[in-house]
Amino acid sequence: MSLLGRLEDLSLTDIIQIVFLSRRTGVLEIIDPKGRHTVLFRAGLVVNASSPAHPDLVSYLAGQQLIAESGAKMLRKMEESGIPYGTAIVELNLMSPTDLGSAIRNRILDVVTPLLNSREGEFNFILSDAMSALDVEYDPENIFREGGLSPQRIVGGEGGEKIKPLKSLEESLKAGKALLRGSAPAETTPASLNLGLGQPLNPPAPAPAQNNIVPFPKPEATPTFSAVPDEPLPEIPDEPPPRDFKRPESGKFKVSGGLIEVESPEATYRNVVLFERNPLVRVAARRAFTKHNVKIFQYGSLDDVRVALTDLFRSNSFFVTFLELTDADRNADGPTVRLLQQLKRRNPRLPVVVVDLEADLRRRHALLRAGADLYLTKPSPARLQPGLAEEELSLFADELVLFADRSFQQWEQVTGGFGADAGRRFYEMANKENLDRSFGVLKQLINELSNPNDIGQVSQTILRLSAEYLERGALFMANDEYFVGLGGFGITGDEGESIDTRVRRMKIARNESSVLGDVATSAEAHQGKMRRTPANVELIERLGGILPTEVVALPIMHSQRTIGILYGDNAEHRAPIDSMTGLEIFLSQAGYAFSNAVFASAAKRL
């Protein structure tokens, strides 16, 4: 499990000593206005740290001019083949083990020192059973005699002298334990230094509610969370997908489970979507969110989640999404990961949390790069045993509630309140960000082209961005007689040729009735159904035969002439296709580069 909290409640100095005393392994991440910082622990010892300024060991060493830029490129290639940075540095004699150890300690100090006295930021400690040399970026056993750095060498005085006993450390421990439960610390002193990092906790006696949940960034008012005694998990059925999502008017009655309830105005704008296949976790989450006046839609199927998200988007709703990773998400392109990317592409301001069964630090890194706001681990099956399940599920559900509550507070600050007008403003801001992002991505991708006149490079650049918007796609060059396939992406439905190979062999006559011909003639984008014509049937069959429910065809223009067509559809999941505005803007700006490549390609053939 993870541990969530704020530096205002538990300082970094306290956390480092607590993890050291409990000999835990895992990663502590701290998010503050400067970005995401991490501190890695192995058996309680600090072994590495990173920050936005020092994202990895190689960039730090290169920035400190301890290794040359050419050496940095070589090290990155070796890391991709499974050799940790530190191991490669020593084997290539770029640095001695002693010098490397000093550089690692200095890097850790550069990251940790500004945070030691800070009270601005949220922390999340993710427990891990083990941490490999690739996770740490080097082998601590070969660099440090103790296998890492003790707190004295990180937060001690000059020379690493012994740390003085922390003032009221036991109170800090109680505060840390209370963070998990959303309650104030008990007045009695705990018998051990058990913060609950992966262990069952003895629940403290209910105490008067206090404001120990401090928002980040700090709003004008802070809600109070009261301790709630544990109760048996009720049998709550899953909620069906909200296919006709309509908000009830403020304060009106609704019927739920045969009982009449009153839904408060605030609850209609506090939405949570949870994808979780374990019914015990869903029930615990429903109970926790209901207590805190949050409306939760929870599903065991990604298809149902997609329907719910589509309806929430249409209503300009703010919502927090929790997505469980599936076995298919062990690679970088699983269904949950793709849904995360689609959601973030539609509105990057909507918070998304990814929940893993066990901590995998390399997968966590990939998910954060894909757009996840937080990476959590849930109770393992071994801990959901009689006597442990109630406590473990309650703690995990409280973590979800804590993150969601902070997200709601931040949304209210950004938009100025709840309501339909706030929702509209929120999505307008997201649309502007998407437009700015499209121009930024276009410049970046064009700058990456080593040969802007290479039709293959330009085509792959367009397809690369299009894959973020569409499940299946194909790019065609338009001449006076044919639409000539240049490449594609997505599924085909069989184990035969890839879709890219299939598209490259395609040639559709321009004078035949097709969606490509319609768009080329009108020079306007098409999104929706596709007419059944021989050319359209041939297009689908040659893509693999899987029928979509919605298609798009976007023109690529130059000098008021259609020189290319991007075709796409939703053949894989048949989920509604989101707005294409960002992609259309990209294609409108990419028309010049595409036309140059087309003309250069034609000249080569002559």
493: CATH: 3.30.450.40
Same domain, 81 and 10: yes
Same domain, 246 and 117: no
Does residue 445 fall inside a structural domain? yes
Produce one character per residue of 206-219: b if its CB has 16 or more CB atoms within 10 Å, e if not. eeebeebbbbbeee
Same domain, 304 and 362: yes
pLDDT band, very low/low/confident/very high, at 96 (cuts 50, 70, 90): very high
Does residue 374 fall inside a structural domain? yes
Same domain, 413 and 440: no
Does residue 208 fall inside a structural domain? no
Of 37, 129, 132, 27, the closest CA to residue 79 belongs to 132
How far is C-alpha 362 from the chain's CA centre? 13
Cα–Cα distance, 544 to 532 (Å, whole number): 17
Same domain, 449 and 394: no
Does residue 226 fall inside a structural domain? no
Can you say whether the dihedral through the CA atoms of 478, 479, 483, 489 is positive or negative?
negative
Does residue 17 fall inside a structural domain? yes
pLDDT digits (tens, 9 = 90+) for 421-462: 777 878 887 777 766 666 666 666 666 655 666 777 888 888
Q: What's the confidence (pLDDT) of residue 193?
A: 35
Q: What's the confidence (pLDDT) of residue 263?
A: 45
Same domain, 76 and 153: yes
Same domain, 160 and 252: no
pTM: 0.64
Same domain, 407 and 447: no
Same domain, 17 and 66: yes
pLDDT band, very low/low/confident/very high, at 58 (cuts 50, 70, 90): very high
Segment among 224-238, 343-357, 523-537, 584-598 with least mean pLDDT: 224-238
Across the chain, mean pLDDT equals: 78
Same domain, 369 and 514: no
User: For the sheet containing 374-377, what is the strand order?
Assistant: 295-299, 271-275, 319-324, 352-356, 374-377
Contact (Cβ atoms closer than 8 angstroms) between residue 30 and residue 131: no
Q: What share of the chain is helix, strand, coil (3-state, %, to 5)?
A: 45, 20, 40
The pair phi, psi for residue 450, each rounded to 5°, is -75, -25
Question: Across residues 126-143, what is the average pLDDT?
Answer: 90
Which of 120, 144, 169 is at the close of a domain? 169
Domain CATH for 411: 3.40.50.2300
pLDDT band, very low/low/confident/very high, at 1 (cuts 50, 70, 90): low
Number of independent structural domains in the chain: 3
Which of 125, 147, 169 is at the close of a domain? 169
Does residue 538 fall inside a structural domain? yes
Does residue 77 fall inside a structural domain? yes
State both tokens at 517.
Answer: 């011909």
Same domain, 96 and 244: no
Same domain, 469 and 552: yes
State both tokens at 59.
Answer: 């960039």
Can you say whether the dihedral through the CA atoms of 7, 11, 14, 16 is positive or negative?
positive
Which of 169, 201, 218 is at the close of a domain? 169
Contact (Cβ atoms closer than 8 angstroms) between residue 94 and residue 71: yes
Does residue 583 fall inside a structural domain? yes
pLDDT band, very low/low/confident/very high, at 530 (cuts 50, 70, 90): very high
Q: What's the confidence (pLDDT) of residue 593?
A: 75
Q: Which domain holds residue 252?
A: 238-417
CA distance to 249, 253, 261, per residue, from 418 (Å): 13, 20, 21
